[in-house]
A and B are shown apart, each in its own frame.
Chain A
Amino acid sequence: EAQVTQNPRYLITVTGKKLTVTCSQNMNHEYMSWYRQDPGLGLRQIYYSMNVEVTDKGDVPEGYKVSRKEKRNFPLILESPSPNQTSLYFCASTGYSTDTQYFGPGTRLTVL
């Protein structure tokens, strides 16, 4: 089954404690991206990757890092999380040969 998986689905953490949210897709997609969704602000892109070892900043990259060492994985790293990073995070992927964007189930992060 074609899918994008994210882990964890829910996370409560404290300020400054490094965390990683994993994202993996099984469709051999070239393009992957991370979004955060906040009430009243909609979805905003954090980072995106056009292919392995190719990443670029989206609209709100501050406080986040990503890596794309393998085609299937695109982890989101928060080196020192802060309360303003409390949000719902989505990973998405698409390929050059497909029209459809596939979304992960979301990760609800709370930073205390």
Chain B
Amino acid sequence: KNEVEQSPQNLTAQEGEFITINCSYSVGISALHWLQQHPGGGIVSLFMLSSGKKKHGRLIATINIQEKHSSLHITASHPRDSAVYICAGNSNYQLIWGAGTKLIIKP
């Protein structure tokens, strides 16, 4: 069993839909990262959470420390949101990676 698990692995949705990607972890972490990887390969850090909720534009990330669960939400999804979204737990400056969720938003 992976220490950081994401679901779903793949998600295809229509433009405008509300998107939720889930991340559960079984190890002790000090924070959880959400990252975005575009088809070109580059990785961008979206959020780092240690508690509660953060919002940036149409992206919202939440974390429940007691349940060891985090979610990434995208409101009013757009084709340019198509990417792989990865969650990673931060443990002593090392990242424990989820496998990623491949999101495709169709126009």
Q: A45-B95, A58-B94 are in contact. Are A100 and B100 (CB under 8 A)?
A: no
Please give, as numbers and ranges, the residues of chain A lying within 8 Å of B74 by CB-CB distance. Answer: none
Contact A88 B41 (CB under 8 A): yes
Contact A48 B86 (CB under 8 A): no
Task: Determine if A108 is an interface residue (Cβ-Cβ < 8 Å).
Answer: yes
Chain A interface residue number, banded: 20 to 34
> What is the minimal beta-carbon distance from B57 to any residue of chain A, in angstroms?
16
Q: CB-CB contacts of B2-46 with A at 8 A, as 1s and 0s?
A: 000000000000000000000000000001010100000111110
- Chain B residue, CB-CB nearest to A30: B93
Contact A33 B41 (CB under 8 A): no
Contact A101 B33 (CB under 8 A): yes
Q: A33-B94, A50-B93, A99-B48 are in contact. Are A42 and B86 (CB under 8 A)?
A: yes
Task: Determine if B85 is an interface residue (Cβ-Cβ < 8 Å).
Answer: no
Please give, as numbers and ranges, the residues of chain B lying within 8 Å of A43 by CB-CB distance. Answer: 86, 88, 95, 97
User: What is the CA–CA distance of A103 and B37 in the complex, to the nearest angstrom?
Assistant: 11
> What is the minimal beta-carbon distance from B9 to any residue of chain A, in angstroms?
10
Please give, as numbers and ranges, the residues of chain A lying within 8 Å of B45 by CB-CB distance. Answer: 100-103
Task: Determine if B89 is an interface residue (Cβ-Cβ < 8 Å).
Answer: no
- Chain A residue, CB-CB nearest to B49: A99
> What is the minimal beta-carbon distance from A98 to any residue of chain B, in angstroms?
9
> What is the minimal beta-carbon distance from B36 to any residue of chain A, in angstroms?
10
Can you report 24 residue pairs joining A to B where beta carbons are below 8 Å apart? A31-B93, A33-B94, A42-B86, A42-B100, A43-B88, A43-B97, A44-B97, A45-B94, A48-B93, A48-B94, A58-B94, A88-B41, A99-B31, A99-B48, A100-B48, A101-B33, A101-B35, A101-B45, A101-B48, A101-B95, A103-B35, A103-B42, A103-B45, A106-B41
Task: Determine if A90 is an interface residue (Cβ-Cβ < 8 Å).
Answer: yes
